[in-house]
Amino acid sequence: MIYKLDPANYEKARPLFRALEFHLSSAAVLDGNNPGQVFVDDPARPQSAFMFSPEGCYLAGDPDHDTFNHTLREALHGKQLFDERVDELCFICSVASWEKQLAIMLNPWQPIKIPRRHYICRELKYDWQANISDGFAAHCLDNAILNQPGLSIPDHIRGWMQNNWGSTADFLQRGFGFVTIHNEAASAAQVVSWSLADCRSGTACEIGIRTAEPYRRRGLATITAAAAVEYALSNGFSTVGWHCSEDNLGSIGAAEKVGFERERDYSLYYVSLNGEE
């Protein structure tokens, strides 16, 4: 059997997810800071668990619980655990032995194994203010920016806040972010790079970065991410996390220039749900 765990009982499942705390979204869901759902084999004494979070799906606890695995497989294929409009999933496993079970549960969907890097920044090593070019300005993302007349804001920013935090209001209350604006004083002002918090738990947080296509390879991602890190480390966070794929050289370069240090390598399993079963 599989049971949806009441948020009031999330602490019962926390020990199962300890090995996944490097993927901070798992802890953020358990804390109630970010939306998500937790499913377990036994609500009173969970031994196996599945979490659906804004940053991916997590498998934790005992990987050899046949009844739980079989029920979870049926629920995944029936799209009973998430919005039916979801067309792709990413999985992270707490232990390597979950990987074999994941392949069985997803069959005939074929998961793609993607090598990933996890970085941590404890000290900013990049002077973004000295490197920002004329015509560009970095700002903390707040209500004033979101409602600034004439400012073009990519839809991705509001989508990010909604997906990872539940709403814009929740993001502004619990999260943070920085945006870099081009031609701020002009009528054609636009946000061209943005770095927002993905999640938070305790004194740790994680951020992501995105830059509009025409403005890439100008160092704007490094500047914007550095501004976000500076804000985080100056406002109660002791560490800032960063995740990227092994082949994303742009992301790796920006992270390391800012001051992120490589913490670990891990695997993510991607599956498209659009294929025929």
Task: Convert the pLDDT of each residue in 166-187 to its tens digit.
Answer: 999 999 999 999 999 999 877 8
CB 161 within 8 A of CB 176: no
Say whether both 35 and 138 belong to one domain: no
Chain-centroid distance, C-alpha 264: 16
Say whether both 126 and 73 belong to one domain: no
Strands 136-140 and 210-211: unpaired
Say whether both 25 and 157 belong to one domain: no
Residue 61, pLDDT > 60, answer yes
Say whether both 152 and 87 belong to one domain: no
In the numeric block, which tokens belong to residue 91?
């999985």
pLDDT tens for each residue of 244-260: 999 999 999 999 999 99
In the numeric block, which tokens belong to residue 54?
């804004």
Helical axes 220-233 vs 249-258, angle rounded to 10°: 40
CATH of the domain at 90: 3.40.630
Is 114 a member of any domain? no
CATH of the domain at 236: 3.40.630.30
- The residue assigned the tokens 């970065």 is 209
CB 82 within 8 A of CB 233: no
In the numeric block, which tokens belong to residue 4?
């949806």
Query: What pTM, to 2 d.p., does this model score?
Result: 0.94
Count how many domains the chain has: 2
Residue 277, pLDDT > 60, answer no
